[in-house]
Structure 1
Amino acid sequence: MKDLAGLGHLFVAAFLFHFASYMVLPAITDVTMDAVCPGRDECSVAIYLAGFQSAITGLGALVVTPIVGNLSDKYGRKALMTLPVTVAVVPLFILACNRSKVYFYAYYVVRIIAGVFCEGSMHCLLLAYVADQVGARRRAAAFGLLAGVSAAGFVSGTLTARFLPTSSTFQVAAAVAAATAIYLRVFVPDSGANSFVDEACDPLLQGSSCSATSSSSSLSDEDLTPRLPPHKGGLPSLSDMIALLTGSVTLSGTAIVTLFYSLGEHGLHAALLYYLKAQFGYSKDEFANLMLIVGAAGMLSQLTVMPVLARLVSEETLLILGLLGGCAHVFLYGIAWSYWVIPVELTVVFYTLLSIL
């Protein structure tokens, strides 16, 4: 438990980051509709904007996240986590000032840029920080705790948004995001990346000049660990990253699974809230109620069920359970609004149970 106790400040920073990020989700649909299609409950342009934002953010994160992760191996996790945490404050601050059409489109552009640096890199850096501090046998449980803390931030942010007016929601979210950046810089200790990776050695590159100790320890894993081809630049190029993905069957398979799973999840969430608003007249409070049901189930499962299952079953089994739960989630939402599904509430109950996985 000593290694997990040393992650306390990181868990606080992760909680605050997700608290601020998710607090605005219940309100952003109404803000978008009021700016793009004022006075209407149905607007296809808003859905297209959400889909375009997800697509550009995802493609940008695909390029930026590996670079940020590689830099964190050299300069430390804390130094690189400061970037997404700080950038995340800007779009929230824009809507905290005003939610008119001009301010919304300014938020929209800045949000895309911020998403490139935040959505993928922050999650990966948090996991890398935990992996630096926790032994291999306890990492699955530690990752579950981190996911539970993130889910707790989601639930707390959503619950706060449920009782705040829209204007105050963005102001509080911006203040918490700024506090997160300050807390990260002051209290979270650096993971000491250079103590795990020799300063003269790029961990993703072949042919780099490493110390004798690093060289001897890496020889045993040379055939098992995918590495980038040698290059003269300071950062890996896009072709280098492609070579890394194609050089390992496990890594390329994981990337393919992640791609299709994320495609379905983001496609669902990009249109779901707007559909609920058009079909049932949902607003911020109803969105918050629905998110609270889902988030509370996820938080409890990650904090209680996940650490227990990590000790009993393999990581592959946990991954399969998670993917099955995600597929069932999308399927149930796909049929929930069909004319032959009479009790919609029954589908919500099933989804809540599946969220425990």
Structure 2
Amino acid sequence: MEKFRDLIHLLVTVFLSTFATLIVIPAITDVTMVAVCPGQDECSLAIYLSGFQQAIIGLGTVVMMPLIGNLSDQYGRKALLTLPMTLSIIPSAILAYSRTTNFFYAYYVLRTLTAMICEGSINCLAFAYVADNVLERQRTSVFGILSGITAAAFVCGTLAARFLSTALIFQVSAVVAMLAAVYMRIFLQESLPHGENLAQPILKSGQDDHSQDGGDLPMKPMVSKKIPSIQAITSLLRSSVTFSQAAIVAFFNSLSYGGLQASLMYYLKARFHFSKNQYADLMILLGVSGMASQLLFMPFLAPRVAEEKLLAIGLLGGIANALLYSVAWSRMPPPFLSVFEVFVSPCLRSIVSKQIGPNEQGKAQGCISGIISLANIISPLVYSPLSALFLSEDAPFNFPGFIFLCIGFSTMIAFFQSILIRAVPPISSHKSSSSSILA
């Protein structure tokens, strides 16, 4: 029962932090356009700025996600959650104060720097926290519930953005981000593999270890031993064929999602003259479908359908959605296929968690998050120039939705890799039962 309460506190923490992050999305495109290209519906500079930011954030998170995940295996999930949740307050606070051009560029720089640590790290650590405390056979369902809470925060944040003014949106975001950090520090219990207690703070030297061994070696910072090398990450990827296949699926699916993220808002602005409220309406539909899928369908389907099959179904939904977007000439198609798309993340995370022992859950989830970040570096470098080209008057042919055709092709590669994944007996069943909350 105590661990069940801990999971409730984790879900509340994820909800609040996700709400604070996502409430600004419907407004940020208009804020960017007003600051960079006032009075215009099509602006290549805004597209390139967003793409460049996404690439730089991805470059930082490729390094930070494995590091944060690995450190959380040693020093606890809560200790590592504190840093990204605190840093995420800063960008919203800047635009809460002012949205003039100078303040926008201050936001742009600080958002880029802080997101190198914050982007994806909260979800990464939340997945590792769940893996510490839930039996393997039940993780897909609980991962789905965690993703459903994220979708619920998405819906609530978008609804709030629909009815709040732009200035108030960023003020609410900053306040809720602060509330999330305070709530997490007060209520969430620390989690380590096997329920071990923290032996020492992160920056303490390794003197105790040396003294126990009876050696006279010089002291070295303990944290330096916790930074995973390229060889360590490569070894982790090779530790299981299933893990390697899941990593490939994660890369190409994220390549597609990153392209959608970099292009969709500006495509809607240029093609259909969308504003903040219309962005919010579309995002509400996306969020409701995702929330219904994760909180209603996933707990029912996960015990009955193999997670690798659910993964393939989710990728098929992504392909179909991209194709529908590509042929949308007069109006946007309803995003109902997002019901299936959201199967991808919890299924991938569950597959990965079952191939790794309990002492390496943070490292494994951080490795997958790092691969996703690598895709987020490449994605805007490919898709932002394509999007700017085909939305401009200099397009080689009249096909504004060509970008989504390319996104669908990338998702198709992930789909073909996913159907090669075969269920493999997990390696840590005998180690995780003692920490299960649902046994």
Question: Does the alignment reach a TM-score above 0.5?
Answer: yes
Q: Match of 2:337?
A: 351
Distance 1:35 1:266 in 2: 23
* Cα 1:234–1:276 shift into 2, 3 Å: closer
How far off is 1:350 after superposition? 4.7
**Do residues 320 (structure 1) and 320 (structure 2) align?**
no
Structure 1 unaligned spans of 5+:
201-208, 210-231
Q: Match of 2:388?
A: none
1:158 alignment partner AA? T
Secondary structure, aligned partner of 2:123: helix
How far off is 1:172 after superposition? 0.5
**Do residues 160 (structure 1) and 146 (structure 2) align?**
no
Residue correspondence of structure 1 range 253-332 to structure 2 within 5 A: 253-332=245-324
Distance 1:246 1:356 in 2: 27
**Do residues 49 (structure 1) and 41 (structure 2) align?**
no
Distance 1:352 1:144 in 2: 14
Deviations 1:236-256 (A, max 9, x none): 223432343244432222222
Q: Match of 2:387?
A: none
Distance 1:135 1:281 in 2: 48
2:142 alignment partner AA? A
**Do residues 241 (structure 1) and 233 (structure 2) align?**
yes
Distance 2:318 2:111 in 1: 26
**Pairwise CA RMSD of aligned residues?**
2.2
* Cα 1:24–1:106 shift into 2, 3 Å: same
Secondary structure, aligned partner of 1:233: helix
Secondary structure, aligned partner of 2:337: helix
Distance 1:348 1:184 in 2: 36
Distance 2:339 2:150 in 1: 19
Residues 82 and 181 of structure 2 are in contact (CA less than 8 Å); yes or no, is this contact kept in structure 1? yes
Of stretches 143-152 and 52-61 in structure 1, the one that deviates more from structure 2 is 52-61
**Do residues 143 (structure 1) and 163 (structure 2) align?**
no
Residue correspondence of structure 1 range 1-357 to structure 2 within 5 A: 4-193=4-193, 195=195, 233-337=225-329, 344=331, 347-348=333-334, 350-351=336-337, 354=340
1:330 alignment partner AA? A
2:244 alignment partner AA? S
Distance 1:46 1:354 in 2: 31
Q: TM (normalized to structure 1)?
A: 0.84
Secondary structure, aligned partner of 1:348: coil
2:66 alignment partner AA? P
Q: Match of 1:221?
A: none
Distance 2:119 2:228 in 1: 21
Distance 1:285 1:249 in 2: 46
1:348 alignment partner AA? P
* Cα 1:188–1:197 shift into 2, 3 Å: closer
Distance 1:193 1:71 in 2: 12
Of stretches 53-62 and 232-241 in structure 1, the one that deviates more from structure 2 is 232-241
Q: TM (normalized to structure 2)?
A: 0.69
* Cα 1:101–1:237 shift into 2, 3 Å: same
Distance 1:262 1:196 in 2: 34
Residues 325 and 354 of structure 1 are in contact (CA less than 8 Å); yes or no, is this contact kept in structure 2? yes
1:300 alignment partner AA? A
Residues 61 and 119 of structure 1 are in contact (CA less than 8 Å); yes or no, is this contact kept in structure 2? yes
Residues 315 and 341 of structure 2 are in contact (CA less than 8 Å); yes or no, is this contact kept in structure 1? no
Q: Which runs of 4+ in 1 moved over 4 A?
A: 1-5, 196-200, 352-357
* Cα 1:353–1:240 shift into 2, 3 Å: closer
Deviations 1:69-114 (A, max 9, x none): 0000111000001111111111111111111111111111111122
Secondary structure, aligned partner of 2:90: helix
Q: How many residues align?
A: 321
Structure 2 unaligned spans of 5+:
201-208, 210-223, 344-439
Tell me which of the two structures has the higher relative contact order, counting C-alpha pairs closer than 8 angstroms and 6 or more residues apart.
2
1:75 alignment partner AA? Y
Distance 1:185 1:146 in 2: 19
Distance 1:275 1:244 in 2: 39
Q: Match of 2:393?
A: none
